[in-house]
Structure 1
Amino acid sequence: MIAIIVAGMSALVLSIFGTPVYRRLLVRKHYGQFVRDDGPTSHATKRGTPTMGGVAIILATIFGLLISHVVTTVQSSMRAGEMVWSFPSTSALLVVFLMAGLGVVGFLDDYLKISKQRSLGLRARSKLLGQILVASVFAVLALVLPEGESSTPASFHISFVRDIPWLDLAFAGTGVGIVLFAIWANFLVAAWSNGVNLTDGLDGLATGATILFAGVYVLISFWQWRQACPEGTQYANCYTAAAPLDIAVISSAIVGACIGFLWWNTSPAKIFMGDTGSLALGGALAGITIVSRTELLGAIIGGLFVVISLSVIIQVASFKTTGKRVFRMAPLQHHFELKGWNEVTIVVRFWIVAGILGALGLGIFYLNALPGLS
Structure 2
Amino acid sequence: MLVWISEYLVKYFTFFNVISYLTVRAILALLTSLTISLIMGQKVIDWLQKLQIGQVIRHDGPESHLSKKGTPTMGGTLILASISISVFLWADLRNPYVWVTLFVLIGYGIVGFADDYLKVIRKNTDGLIARWKYFWQSVIALIVAFGLYAYGKDSSVTVLVVPFFKDVMPQLGLWFILLTYVVIVGAGNAVNLTDGLDGLAIMPTVFVAAGFALVSWATGNVNFAAYLQIPYIKFSGELMVVCTAIIGAGLGFLWFNTYPAMVFMGDVGSLALGGVFGIISVLLRQEFLLLVMGGIFVIETLSVILQVGSFKLRGKRIFKMAPIHHHYELKGWPEPRVIVRFWIISLMLVVIGLLTLKLR
The one of 180, 187, 192 aligned to 1:192: 187
Cα shift readout 1:89-134 (whole Å, capped 9, x = no counterpart): 1112101110110000000000000123343101011101110011
Taking the aligned partners of 2:227 and 2:330, their CA distance within structure 1 comes to 53
Taking the aligned partners of 1:169 and 1:59, their CA distance within structure 2 comes to 35
Q: Identify the residue that residue 105 of structure 1 maps to in structure 2.
A: 111
The aligned amino acid for 1:328 is: K
Counterparts of 1:1-374 in structure 2 under 5 Å? Answer: 1-69=23-91, 86-145=92-151, 155-160=157-162, 167-170=170-173, 177=174, 180-227=175-222, 237=229, 239-368=231-360
Bigger shift: residues 351-360 or 131-140: 131-140
The aligned amino acid for 1:160 is: V
Cα shift readout 1:292-332 (whole Å, capped 9, x = no counterpart): 11111210111111111111111111111111111000000
Taking the aligned partners of 1:290 and 1:56, their CA distance within structure 2 comes to 25
Secondary structure, aligned partner of 2:146: helix
Distance 1:216 1:229, change over 3 A: closer
Is 1:227–1:237's contact at 8 Å kept on the other side of the alignment?
no
Is 2:191–2:297's contact at 8 Å kept on the other side of the alignment?
yes
Q: Identify the residue that residue 77 of structure 1 maps to in structure 2.
A: none
Taking the aligned partners of 1:186 and 1:33, their CA distance within structure 2 comes to 30
Which blocks of at least 5 consecutive residues in structure 2 are unaligned? Answer: 1-22
The aligned amino acid for 2:356 is: I
Secondary structure, aligned partner of 2:359: helix
Q: Identify the residue that residue 10 of structure 2 maps to in structure 1.
A: none
Deviation at 1:227, TM superposition (A): 3.5
Taking the aligned partners of 1:62 and 1:115, their CA distance within structure 2 comes to 25
Count of paired positions? 337
Deviation at 1:27, TM superposition (A): 1.1
Alignment root-mean-square deviation, CA: 2.2
Secondary structure, aligned partner of 2:160: strand
Cα shift readout 1:42-83 (whole Å, capped 9, x = no counterpart): 1111111111111111111111112224xxxxxxxxxxxxxx
Taking the aligned partners of 1:2 and 1:136, their CA distance within structure 2 comes to 34
Taking the aligned partners of 1:26 and 1:104, their CA distance within structure 2 comes to 17
The aligned amino acid for 1:293 is: R
Q: Percent identity?
A: 37
Distance 1:41 1:365, change over 3 A: same
List structure 1 runs of 4+ shifted beyond 6 angstroms.
none
Taking the aligned partners of 1:235 and 1:51, their CA distance within structure 2 comes to 45
Distance 1:183 1:277, change over 3 A: same
Is 2:86–2:245's contact at 8 Å kept on the other side of the alignment?
yes
Distance 1:3 1:160, change over 3 A: farther
Secondary structure, aligned partner of 1:305: helix
Distance 1:362 1:142, change over 3 A: same
Distance 1:200 1:238, change over 3 A: closer
Is 2:109–2:268's contact at 8 Å kept on the other side of the alignment?
yes
Taking the aligned partners of 2:234 and 2:146, their CA distance within structure 1 comes to 16
Which blocks of at least 5 consecutive residues in structure 1 are unaligned? Answer: 70-85, 171-176, 369-374
The aligned amino acid for 1:139 is: A
Q: TM-score normalised to the size of structure 2?
A: 0.88
Distance 1:333 1:287, change over 3 A: same
